[in-house]
Amino acid sequence: MKMVTSPHILLVDDSVQELQQLSATLRAEGFRLSMASDGRTGYQRAVVTQPDLILLDLIMPLMDGLSACRLLKADPATRHIPVIFLTAKNEPEERLRGFQLGGVDYVAKPVLAAEVVARVRIHLNRRDIYRPQRDAVMTPSTNPDDVLFEAAMREIREHLEALPSIPEIAQRVGTHDKRLGQIFRERLGLTVSAFIGEERIRQGRDLLAKTDMGVEQIATQVGFGTGANFTTAFRKRMGMTPTHYRQAIQSQPPELA
């Protein structure tokens, strides 16, 4: 007879009081529990223990919840695990940012233990949504540098319009700018700055080909201060202005465009 094990929850929070309160409640409900007090340790524990669900505080030392979620969703070994954020910053912008990173739910602090249990059960009952990917990822974790690389590329691609500094990008994915630069050079032969420049031109090229947005609007969306700056960089990289590129694309037969 096959033994059925209870769901395993990973609780990541730097508040001793919150850890004690929630761990007591979750254990009383029959859940198996692992705990961590910062985002990096939480990510590492998730890789090793493969929990069924993660309760992740947003504000923590060393690595916050958003940075930890970036790593969790960049790593094939953990991206399938549902993440519920615990936060005292119950603002719409913060919620949207968490959902964009892959979180499935939020619980506002101070938490009501019964609400946490209810939300945990809801998302555990939805595990079949995530299981199609699960068999493919139950292998040893990828190289940590690969995870950082994927998380940083995603951060850059999703925030070109208002991109933070390279040290801040590195901090958001849990490293420092020198290491991040080394990782990019090893994998792409480019500095982080050079990759950002290439990505801005790539996205600008896609928008020119697939939309009717004006050059100024595209320039803003991909992070150039002005249309003139975008045009200068585009001509240098592509050998023609954005306008000429769009005309060339539109003049091609549909099967070649």
Q: Is residue 256 part of a domain?
A: no
Residues 30 and 72 in one domain: yes
Indicate whether 76 belongs to any domain. yes
**Chain segment 53-104, per-residue pLDDT in tens:** 999 999 888 888 988 999 999 888 898 999 999 988 767 777 778 888 888 8
Confidence at residue 156, expressed as pLDDT on a 0 to 100 scale: 92
Q: Which amino acid is at 238?
A: M
Domain count, the chain: 2
Q: Does 42 share its domain with 132?
A: yes
Residue 1 in domain: no
pLDDT surpasses 50 at 136: no
Q: What is the residue range of 12's domain?
A: 8-137
Does residue 32 belong to any structural domain of this protein? yes
Both 43 and 132 in one domain: the answer is yes
- Considering the domain architecture, whether residues 116 and 158 belong to the same structural domain is answered as no
The domain that holds 129 is classified in CATH as 3.40.50.2300
- 16-46 pLDDT, tens per residue? 888 888 899 999 999 999 999 999 899 989 9
Same-domain check for residues 12 and 129: yes
The last residue of one of the domains, among 90, 117, 137, is 137
Give the pLDDT confidence score for residue 12 in this predicted structure. 95
pTM above 0.75, yes or no: no
- Look at residues 137, 152, 177 and tell me which one is the last residue of a structural domain: 137
Instruction: Look at residues 113, 88, 110, 96 and name the one whose alpha carbon lies nearest to residue 9.
Output: 113
Domain membership of residue 190 (yes or no) is yes
In this structure, is the dihedral angle defined by the CA atoms of residues 133, 125, 26 and 106, taken in order, positive or negative?
Answer: positive
Residues 209 and 156 in one domain: yes
Regarding whether 150 and 120 lie in a shared domain, the answer is: no
**Alpha helices of 29-165 — where are they, by DSSP H?**
39-49, 65-74, 92-101, 113-124, 131-137, 144-158
Token code pair at residue 236:
């240098």
pLDDT tens figures, 137-148 = 444 446 888 888
Whether 73 is in a domain gets the answer yes
Pairwise CA distance, residues 124 & 7, whole Å = 8
Does some domain include residue 221? Answer: yes
Q: Is the pLDDT reported for residue 186 higher than 70?
A: yes
pLDDT of 254 over the 70 cut: no
